[in-house]
Structure 1
Amino acid sequence: MQTVVIKECENIKTPNVFTLDLSKKIVKDCIGCWSCWWKTPGRCIYKDLDEFYHQYIKADRAIYFPKITKGFVSGNLKTLFDRMIPLYLPYTTYATGESMHVPRYEKYPDIEFYYDGKFKNVAGRQIFVDYINRVFYQFYSKNITVKPIEEYIAEGGDKM
């Protein structure tokens, strides 16, 4: 099983074929130029995420270890979500009863999302979990798990 890791937490390790360390890499903002759809289909003009895109699509699962601040993902991780648009076609489908981009590839990785952070209340946590599920539903991931990082560690995950 091929795994990619996207992390902001520095003290987590897990076997994988590729790691995108967002604690060390600032993702450039999408400028909305549409080049990833029309000029260089499937590739952003920045090229800073080329290896990530390649490994992400080949992966069976993607494990995210984000830090939660003020009840939400960091701006850097949100920018990564925005920059993942080249992985989809510019066309929309209404096959599910709602507007979604058409997938560019046959499969997308399953998602394990282990967040590090607290929420003010249960409702805030539920809004966050719903948001993450919605993002990866729109990204065509079939299996999506959203849990606190403590559960990853308790289930045998490695912490350095």
Structure 2
Amino acid sequence: MKTLFDLGDKQNVGLNETIQNLYDEPLKIVRLEEQSIKSCIGCWNCWLKTPGMCVMKDEMAESYVDYVNSDTVILLMDTAQGFLNHRAKAFLDRTIPHHHPYIELVDGECHHVERYENYPDLVFYYDTEGLTDQEEQVIEDYLYRTAYHFKSKAYRIVEKGNSQLIPLDSRSAKNHAVAFGSTESIEKLVIYNGSPRISGSNSTLILEKVVEALGDKVEIRDLKKREKWEEWSKSFKSEKHVMLFMPLYVHAMPSHVMGFIEKLEASEGSISFFVQSGFPESSQSSYLEAYFEQLAVRLGRKYLGTAIKGGMEGLQMRPATAQDKMIKPLANTIENLVYEGEFSKIDIFQLAKPIRYGKGMQILFNLLSKRLLNLFWDHQLKTNNAYEKRFDRPYLS
């Protein structure tokens, strides 16, 4: 079965027919509109309480059967601000139930273990109108990476006269294309907290320590407060120094953060970014870093850089002293940015370690860490009386 998920803002009847011509069998078309896809909130219930099954009650969840049982999934997506729009990002975020929380190492990077034996080929079509060449490449690279992590072959539909199906081969992120800039000492830094979690947010815990260190030199704004977006997007134009701080979700920003980014307009000032993730290696965040560089250019703001810190999952399960030790380097990096007007290259380099695991660390991981990580997940599954269901494949027909 081949399924086309139409995530666009408009009925793309003509485009759907064009895509249909690339295949020798009818496509099942599933149209998911704005209210059809709720944003992932990082609750982990699909891993720890109802293994493999999303707790969201929306049309996206109802369409999981079509996704899992297709040999090919075509995603028709819109773009905004030089990236996939928030609806497309929400769709990708919400595919995480189809994989286990368990981790395996692939080429020195952590990957989620597959829940199903087979995954559909992923075919992407995205609107390129208004994109720079660099932005188009960033999106394509990101989509390759997402499919790679999700055990799917990746293809892109491009329009060169006739529509063509192009395989997306292995590639690295095009990050470090824009150099870190600097500014004068920052009198006030507005930090947007991009965590989607209702409670138990590592980002919030980290930013509380930043406020303790910097006081009224920082203002934290929680992007879960969607009712404030209009006000904040207008004030963004006059804010001299802004940072977006967020967890990594499927190799990029959580979808609600993209929704806020879509509202921003070009303006003077500086912009910086901070990405923290559960995966230890910083290479997981490099595709998002590549986008943030181009976003700074699009917004006309001086790019002060992107700080990346992995290995933050489990932070809140540690004693208070161990939490402080983990958070201190992150808080120090932001503190240095405020007082010096630039990220310390030494801070950024240290935070980003490891970029990938070397062979020695891979051996150690396979001997010790993997077992410990499995115990971490298994303990929570047992606590939720879900351990016996951990290998369930609820959407397989």
> Hey, what does 2:357 align to over in structure 1?
none
> Hey, what does 1:6 align to over in structure 2?
5
> Hey, what does 2:157 align to over in structure 1?
147
Q: CA deviation at 1:77?
A: 1.1
Q: CA deviation at 1:22?
A: 3.1
Contact 2:75 / 2:124 at 8 angstroms: preserved in 1? yes
Contact 2:157 / 2:163 at 8 angstroms: preserved in 1? no
Quick one: distance in 2 between partners of 1:24 and 1:124?
A: 24
> Hey, what does 2:118 align to over in structure 1?
107
> Hey, what does 2:141 align to over in structure 1?
130
> Hey, what does 1:79 align to over in structure 2?
90
TM-score (norm 2): 0.36
Out of 71, 79, 82, which is 1:68 matched to? 79
3-state SS, counterpart of residue 83 of structure 2: coil
Pick 1 or 2: higher relative contact order, CA cutoff 8 A, min separation 6. 1
In structure 2, relative to structure 1, the CA distance for the partners of 1:66 and 1:127 (3 Å cut) is same
* Letter paired with 1:37: W
> Hey, what does 1:36 align to over in structure 2?
46
* Letter paired with 2:41: I
Write out per-residue CA displacement over residues 6-62 of structure 1, whole angstroms, 9 at most, x where no aligned residue: 111522323323x33234544111122211011111111113233321111110101
Quick one: distance in 1 between partners of 2:146 and 2:122?
A: 11
Contact 2:75 / 2:125 at 8 angstroms: preserved in 1? yes
3-state SS, counterpart of residue 32 of structure 1: coil
Quick one: distance in 2 between partners of 1:114 and 1:37?
A: 30
Out of 50, 60, 63, which is 1:52 matched to? 63
**Alignment length (residue pairs):** 152
> Hey, what does 2:381 align to over in structure 1?
none
> Hey, what does 2:236 align to over in structure 1?
none
Contact 1:71 / 1:118 at 8 angstroms: preserved in 2? no
Contact 1:60 / 1:108 at 8 angstroms: preserved in 2? yes
Q: CA deviation at 1:137?
A: 0.8
3-state SS, counterpart of residue 140 of structure 2: helix
* Letter paired with 2:78: K
Quick one: distance in 2 between partners of 1:140 and 1:91?
A: 15
Contact 1:87 / 1:105 at 8 angstroms: preserved in 2? yes
Contact 2:83 / 2:135 at 8 angstroms: preserved in 1? no
In structure 2, relative to structure 1, the CA distance for the partners of 1:90 and 1:77 (3 Å cut) is same
Task: Note the residue ranges of structure 2 that are not aligned, 5 or more in a row.
Answer: 21-25, 165-397
* Letter paired with 2:162: A
Out of 4, 21, 28, which is 2:31 matched to? 21
Quick one: distance in 1 between partners of 2:52 and 2:40?
A: 14
3-state SS, counterpart of residue 94 of structure 1: strand
Which sits farther off after the overlay, 43-52 or 122-131? 43-52
Contact 2:128 / 2:136 at 8 angstroms: preserved in 1? no
Quick one: distance in 2 between partners of 1:102 and 1:124?
A: 30
Contact 1:119 / 1:125 at 8 angstroms: preserved in 2? no
Which structure carries more helix by proportion? 2
Quick one: distance in 2 between partners of 1:46 and 1:69?
A: 25
